[in-house]
Amino acid sequence: MGCGAGRIPAQRGVSLSSVFNVGGGEVLVILLVALIVLGPDKLPETARKIGNVMGEVRRMSAGFQNEMRAAIEDAGHSEPEKPTLEPVTDESNHALGSQTDRPQSQASDDSAA
């Protein structure tokens, strides 16, 4: 499997060493300390819990990435249609307008007197 000139090979997965910059010897020391601190009885249970949490985080991350990609693709394809607005005629507003004119004209008559 060769790559074309100037092409970067696609990564199949992300390893622990590339994420946390941890080598094999360092992982061995971490596991040894965990064995001493937790003991042989609790270590398998704790490792299982950590594995479950890591799997859940990966699933949530993948779901979030898929939603973001879908939103970007949807936004790039077409603009959403704008709703057509129809003019609203409110006949009751005209009737109120004639009533409100009357007190104003009375007020102007009162101020003139």
SS3 of the chain: the string is: CCCCCCCCCCCCCCCHHHHHCCCHHHHHHHHHHHHHHHHHHHHHHHHHHHHHHHHHHHHHHHHHHHHHHHHHHHHHHCCCCCCCCCCCCCHHHHHHHHHHHHHHHHHHHHHHC
Q: Is residue 52 part of a domain?
A: yes
- Average pLDDT in the 76-88 region? 75
Domain of residue 50, residue span: 40-77
- How much is the pLDDT for 1? 47
Band (100; pLDDT cuts 50, 70, 90): low
* Amino acid present at 85: L
Spatial separation of the C-alpha atoms in residues 25 and 27, rounded to whole Å: 5
Q: Is residue 29 part of a domain?
A: no
- 94: CB partners within 8 A, 6+ apart: none
Residue 61 has pLDDT above 90, yes or no: yes
Q: Is residue 49 part of a domain?
A: yes
Q: Is residue 6 part of a domain?
A: no
Q: Is residue 61 part of a domain?
A: yes
Domain count, the chain: 1
- How much is the pLDDT for 69? 92
Six-digit token string for 83: 């709703």
Q: Is residue 50 part of a domain?
A: yes
- Average pLDDT in the 96-107 region? 52
Q: Is residue 56 part of a domain?
A: yes
Six-digit token string for 25: 């010897």
Spatial separation of the C-alpha atoms in residues 65 and 26, rounded to whole Å: 31
Q: Is residue 14 part of a domain?
A: no
